[in-house]
């Protein structure tokens, strides 16, 4: 991985995205392989990039993964903490609604007072992500073996964290309908996360398209299954 950037159209490596001349002229660099601009997204607003990312466009995933310098490693760590907290809150929220009858009976104050359920859900959330990402790392390591490098580990971790943002989309649903379980939203988020992981792994050039889909699906299903053995909310 000597080249820093990536052509969003064909995935070929590139040395730079644009060239700045002394007169203030900026020239967009074209790809040596496909002759298209290496990254047209550098001229677009971040919101448009985000929309294309959510729409699972491979070009947008390549742009986010390789060509945005301002997403630093500490941002990825912070986002991973936010994902674990959001996942734990979703589990805890549904645990609270399991006790809805106790809310009607006005004896639910113990649930809020103790809050121990939240911390066990936080641990479950951490465990779920560890199992999911660990499995994908194992598959990648088995595939690359001696050619596996620290750069590839960083790239894979970045791809997995950025493609997990579907988890955050459930939070507005909980605010919108706080008094019942929203299985439909959870299912949509579940499917979106599989597809987003698939696209991100495919964009990372570490897996083929088929392996990206299979490893994402197996890792997510297996992490849910293993967690269901110890969790009260096995379907979340």
**Nearest to Zn ion of 12, 174 (CB atom):** 12
Please report how close the Cβ of residue 1 comes to Zn ion at its closest, in angstroms: 17
Instruction: Give the binding-site size for Zn ion (rule: CB under 5 A).
Output: 7
Minimum gap (Å) between residue 34 Cβ and Zn ion: 3
- Between CA 10 and CA 24 the distance in angstroms is 29
State the residue for tokens 């760590």: 77
Site for Zn ion in 11-50 (CB under 5 A): 12, 31, 33-34
- Asked if 10 interacts with Zn ion (CB under 5 A), we say yes
Nearer to Zn ion among residue 10 and residue 54 (C-beta): 10
Query: Does 135 sit near Zn ion (CB under 5 A)?
Result: no
CB of residue 59 to Zn ion, shortest distance in Å: 10
Specify the DSSP element, H or E, that contains 20: strand 18-20
Contact call for residue 140 and Zn ion (CB under 5 A): no
Q: Which residue has the tokens 């939240």?
A: 118
CB of 43 to Zn ion, least distance (A): 17
Told to check if 79 binds Zn ion by CB under 5 A, we report no
Tell me: does residue 204 bind Zn ion (CB under 5 A): no
Residue 34 CB: number of other CB atoms within 10 A?
13
What's the rounded Cα separation, in Å, for the pair 51 and 18? Answer: 23
Minimum distance from residue 142 beta carbon to Zn ion (Å): 29
For residues 128 and 87, the answer to whether their CB atoms sit within 8 Å is yes
What residues have CB less than 8 Å from 51, skipping those under 6 apart? none
Q: Which is nearer to Zn ion, 31 or 201 (CB)?
A: 31
Q: How far is it, in rounded angstroms, from Cα 204 to Cα 200?
A: 6
Stretch that binds Zn ion, among 9-17, 39-47, 131-139, 172-180 (CB under 5 A): 9-17
**Residue indicated by tokens 């590139």:** 14
Report, in Å, the least distance between residue 35 CB and Zn ion. 7
Whole-angstrom Cα distance, residue 59 to residue 56?
A: 9
If the CB atoms of residues 202 and 231 are measured against Zn ion, the closer one turns out to be: 202
DSSP assignment, residue 229? Answer: T
Q: Specify the residue, 9 or 87, whose C-beta has the smaller distance to Zn ion.
A: 9
Distance of CA 6 to the CA centre of its chain: 20
Interface residues with Zn ion (CB under 5 A)?
Answer: 7, 9-10, 12, 31, 33-34
């Amino acid at each position: 991985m000597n080249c820093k950037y990536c052509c969003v159209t064909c995935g070929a490596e590139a040395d730079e995205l644009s060239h700045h001349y002394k007169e203030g002229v900026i020239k967009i660099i074209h790809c040596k392989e496909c002759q298209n601009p290496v990254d047209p997204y550098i001229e677009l607003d971040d919101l448009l990039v985000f929309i294309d990312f959510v729409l699972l466009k491979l070009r947008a995933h390549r742009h986010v993964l390789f060509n945005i310098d301002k997403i630093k490693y500490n941002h990825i760590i912070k986002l991973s903490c936010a994902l674990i907290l959001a996942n734990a809150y979703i589990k805890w929220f549904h645990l609270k609604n399991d006790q809805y009858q106790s809310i009607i009976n006005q004896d639910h104050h113990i649930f809020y007072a103790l809050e121990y359920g939240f911390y066990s859900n936080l641990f479950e959330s951490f465990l779920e992500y560890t199992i999911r990402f660990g499995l994908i790392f194992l598959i990648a390591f088995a595939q690359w073996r001696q050619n596996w490098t620290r750069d590839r580990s960083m790239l894979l971790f970045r791809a997995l964290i950025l493609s997990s943002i579907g988890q955050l989309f459930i939070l507005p649903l909980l605010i919108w309908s706080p008094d019942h379980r929203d299985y439909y939203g959870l299912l949509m988020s579940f499917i979106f996360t599989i597809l987003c992981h698939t696209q991100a792994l495919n964009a990372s050039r570490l897996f083929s398209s088929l392996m990206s889909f299979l490893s994402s699906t197996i890792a997510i299903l297996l992490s849910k299954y293993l967690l269901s053995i110890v969790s009260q909310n096995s379907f979340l």
